[in-house]
Amino acid sequence: MSRLERHLRQTGLPVIGRAGQDALRDATVLIVGCGALGTVTAELLARSGVGTLVIVDRDLVEYSNLSRQVLFSEKDAARSTPKAEAARTRLGRIDPEVRVRAFVEDISSENVEGLTEGVDLIVDGLDNFETRYLVNDVAVKHRIPYLYAGAVGTRGMTMPVLARGGAGDGALVRWTPAEATPCLRCIYPDPPAAGIVETCDTAGVLGSVTAQVASRQVTEAIKLLVGDLQHLDRSLWSIDAWTNQTSRLRVRIEDHEECVCCGSRRFEFLDAPPDRVRPLCGKAGVQIRGDGADVDLARILERLQSSGRFERRDGVVHGELEAVRTADGHAVMLTIFEDGRAVVEGDSDPAWARGVLSRFVGL
């Protein structure tokens, strides 16, 4: 099947046409986070003809994901497949000509600039504000367009970020200084305190809402990639699908000259050292980052076999420790990634998690 035939209906739209479809084919889009928002976004961008997708996600597929994370199957959950790898496989079946680069990594100040190098657009599929502020920093610093999005409960929102000063040299997506928008820190100067913001784990989430927000985000992404900034929605758009309420907060960039990020160009999240130990958002578990050096997963698997049931696949050793139990008597789940990152599930106490990892893995 030719590319022209595959995208015939979309190319027939006057707002896209052949030139717009060629621009999509030449584009590289980074999707940060591959959960409910990220999977719908990735599938729609692949089906629209975006030539290269870069997908970054640190997590494994779980059964609780399947109701809303559309690229994944029961087989992925049963195998605890890394989300980025499962997405790459599925997208390859949808359109083999779309180039998909998958990274099973935790986005941090150490790697975010490398992950964003050479991309034309950053699209939000994240579930926490700390990483969003980091992505906002790198987008403003390097003048990469960034589409912020979020969804929880029955509510969702989107907003574009086009840095002051216009696009960088040679950028696919072009905008002038007059077309710049406020950044995330213009709207939310500081991240919310821990426990203040609801998460999908604490408040639940309606799958149709994440699909609706992701669909809107993809539409705005296509506008940017084909060069139609005239029709880009520059507002902070929000919806509550259950109460049928929508709103737009129109914010002028000139009202935020003192913004610490895009005004003063201080990149506090990008310049900060990454947290080596961090409780997981919305669940009893702790992530422990390695020192950046790859680890010997074969040796780690051999070491863990006597302490529980573990398997190695897709660059991950994953399983449960039968030799140690949580306070309520459940087995501790342990995941070791190739880059030395580890996730210990069962308690949110960093000291306890470090102790488990040191005792059974030696990291």
The pLDDT of 265-290, averaged and rounded, is 85
User: In the chain, which residues fall in CATH 3.30.310?
Assistant: 277-360
- 24 contacts 40 by C-beta, under 8 angstroms: no
Give the global pTM. Answer: 0.88
Architecture of the domain whose range is 3-271: 3-Layer(aba) Sandwich (3.40)
The count of residues in the chain is 363
Q: Rounded to 5 degrees, what angle do the CA atoms 24, 30, 31 make?
A: 110
Confidence of residue 360 (pLDDT cuts 50, 70, 90): confident
For 277-360, the fitting CATH number among 3.30.310, 3.30.420, 3.90.105, 2.30.30 is 3.30.310
The pLDDT of 332-359, averaged and rounded, is 86
Q: What is the Cα–Cα distance from 98 to 93, expressed in whole angstroms?
A: 10
| Torsion angle, alpha carbons of 21, 22, 23, 29, to 10 | 80
State the pLDDT at residue 1. 62
Report the range of poorest mean pLDDT among 78-82, 194-198, 229-233, 244-248.
194-198
- Per the model's pLDDT, the better-predicted residue between 122 and 284 turns out to be 122
Q: What is the Cα–Cα distance from 141 to 168, expressed in whole angstroms?
A: 10
**% of the chain with per-residue pLDDT over 90:** 61
Which alpha helices (H) appear in the chain, and where do they start and end? Answer: 3-6, 8-11, 17-26, 36-48, 74-78, 83-94, 112-116, 129-142, 184-187, 200-203, 207-226, 268-271, 297-304, 350-360
State the pLDDT at residue 4. 77
Reduced to 3 states (helix: H, G, I; strand: E, B; else coil), residue 24 is helix
- 137 contacts 124 by C-beta, under 8 angstroms: no
Question: Could you report how far apart the first and last alpha carbons of the chain are, in Å?
Answer: 50
DSSP lists the bridge partners of residue 167 as: none
